[in-house]
Chain A
Amino acid sequence: MKKIQGAIIIDIDRCKGCSLCVEACPLNLLHIAMRKVNIKGYPYVEQINEMSCTGCANCSIVCPDACISVYRKKCL
């Protein structure tokens, strides 16, 4: 049983698809969405397997456009 559960919100209209967060995620939970673009025409990042996220915030720290908000909660 996991002790900490995390969740992220990605502001897809700010995202430019640089994929630095994809590299930074230690659990490889992020990927660039296939064949989808945002309002600016950039491919954007998506989270897969959401319940595995631990909320380590690495993705948010490396994001140059500050698109990712991270939430973390202890499991009781």
Chain B
Amino acid sequence: MTKDDIIQPENLVIKKPELMNDTVMHYCPGCSHGVVHKLIAEIIEEMELSEKTIGICPVGCAVFAYRYLDIDWQEAAHGRAPAVATACKRLWKDRLVFTYQGDGDLACIGACETIHALNRGEKITIIFINNAIYGMTGGQMAPTTLLGMKTSTCPYGRVPELHGYPLNITDLATHLEGTAYVSRQSVHNVAAIRKAKSAIKKAFENSMNGIGSNLVEIVSTCSTGWKKTPVEANEWMEKNMFEFYQLGDLKDIKQ
């Protein structure tokens, strides 16, 4: 059997999702954003909601997310994506509305909007990419930066006396009455990617069924900001991030 015999349409296992267009993504090599974009495209395709989905872009690395997935997108001001998503979902009740935010956008400038949208129980999904630094602006300290972690604005490591403690916004969200499903996942290997996919799918189904607000945190890498290769960044994340940001479903009101 030659390679040409195998490469036939009926033997296809997996390829680039239809909703993802041919524009080459601007993300750095090995960035977790690409995997999460791909998962979102696959899930929307599986749920057959490509004509009924509105994504809200953040400010941060994912600001150009609207270039890569062929669904409706709305750009929001810095941190205000949950407020825009609230408006979209209240006006179009039959649409799948999700926000896609990084930790600088969601946990810092947009902490107020995030917590209030979750607490109101808006029927939206918030996808939270947490890489513990501000990736786009050059690796500065974020609210989610771990204690002792070195960034360009805390070059000797984060110390609580000076910089305060890391903000664990997903744990915080589990205590809010309005949230239906709160989960923390990662995309560093195949098993984790499969789990992350089912978590995002569950959150999307909840928001389509009108069951509370949903938050899925993806613990991610930033190889450029952490000054590591993509493979080293994954190893560093497994060793250091998972201790503080423990993976798994934190809240599920259906169970």
**B6 contacts the other chain (CB 8 A):** yes
Q: Cβ of B14 and Cβ of A69 under 8 Å apart? A: yes
How many contacts between A and B, using CB within 8 angstroms?
96
For the complex, give the distance between the alpha carbons of A42 and B28 in Å: 11
Taking CB atoms, residues of chain A closer than 8 Å to B231 are 19-20, 23
Taking CB atoms, residues of chain A closer than 8 Å to B32 are 64
Q: Cβ of B230 and Cβ of A72 under 8 Å apart? A: no
* Shortest distance between the CB of A51 and any CB in chain B (Å): 8
**B161 contacts the other chain (CB 8 A):** no
Q: A34-76: which have CB < 8 Å to B?
A: 40, 42, 50, 55, 57-58, 60-67, 69-73, 75
In the complex formed, the residue of B with least CB distance to A70 is: B13
For the complex, give the distance between the alpha carbons of A37 and B255 in Å: 51
Q: Cβ of A5 and Cβ of B6 under 8 Å apart? A: yes
Q: Cβ of A17 and Cβ of B29 under 8 Å apart? A: yes
Taking CB atoms, residues of chain A closer than 8 Å to B27 are 64-65
**A31 contacts the other chain (CB 8 A):** no
Q: Cβ of A64 and Cβ of B33 under 8 Å apart? A: yes
Cβ contact of B34, chosen from A9, A13, A50, A64, cutoff 8 A: A64
Q: Cβ of B14 and Cβ of A62 under 8 Å apart? A: no
Chain B interface size range: 35 or more
Taking CB atoms, residues of chain A closer than 8 Å to B29 are 16-18, 42, 64
Residue from the set B1, B17, B29, B194 with the largest chain A CB neighbour count within 10 Å: B29
Cβ contact of A65, chosen from B5, B11, B25, B193, cutoff 8 A: B25
Please judge, given known A-B contacts A16-B29, A17-B29, whether A6 and B6 are in contact too, CB under 8 Å.
yes
Taking CB atoms, residues of chain B closer than 8 Å to A64 are 25, 27, 29-35, 38
Q: Cβ of B190 and Cβ of A70 under 8 Å apart? A: no
Taking CB atoms, residues of chain A closer than 8 Å to B7 are 7, 9, 71
In the complex formed, the residue of A with least CB distance to B3 is: A7
Please judge, given known A-B contacts A69-B12, A70-B14, whether A24 and B190 are in contact too, CB under 8 Å.
yes
**B234 contacts the other chain (CB 8 A):** yes
**B8 contacts the other chain (CB 8 A):** yes
Taking CB atoms, residues of chain A closer than 8 Å to B34 are 63-66
In the complex formed, the residue of B with least CB distance to A24 is: B190
**B15 contacts the other chain (CB 8 A):** yes
* Shortest distance between the CB of B42 and any CB in chain A (Å): 10
Taking CB atoms, residues of chain A closer than 8 Å to B194 are 61
Cβ contact of A73, chosen from B1, B25, B33, B190, cutoff 8 A: B1
Residues of chain B at the chain A interface (Cβ within 8 Å): 1, 3, 5-8, 11-17, 20, 24-25, 27-35, 38, 189-190, 193-194, 223, 229-231, 234
Given contacts A24-B189, A62-B193, 16 further A-B contacts (CB under 8 A): A7-B7, A18-B230, A55-B13, A57-B13, A60-B13, A62-B190, A64-B38, A65-B25, A65-B34, A66-B17, A66-B34, A70-B13, A71-B11, A71-B13, A72-B6, A73-B6
Residues of chain A at the chain B interface (Cβ within 8 Å): 5-7, 9, 11, 13-14, 16-20, 23-24, 40, 42, 50, 55, 57-58, 60-67, 69-73, 75
6 pairs, A vs B, C-beta closer than 8 Å: A16-B30, A24-B190, A60-B15, A66-B38, A71-B6, A72-B11
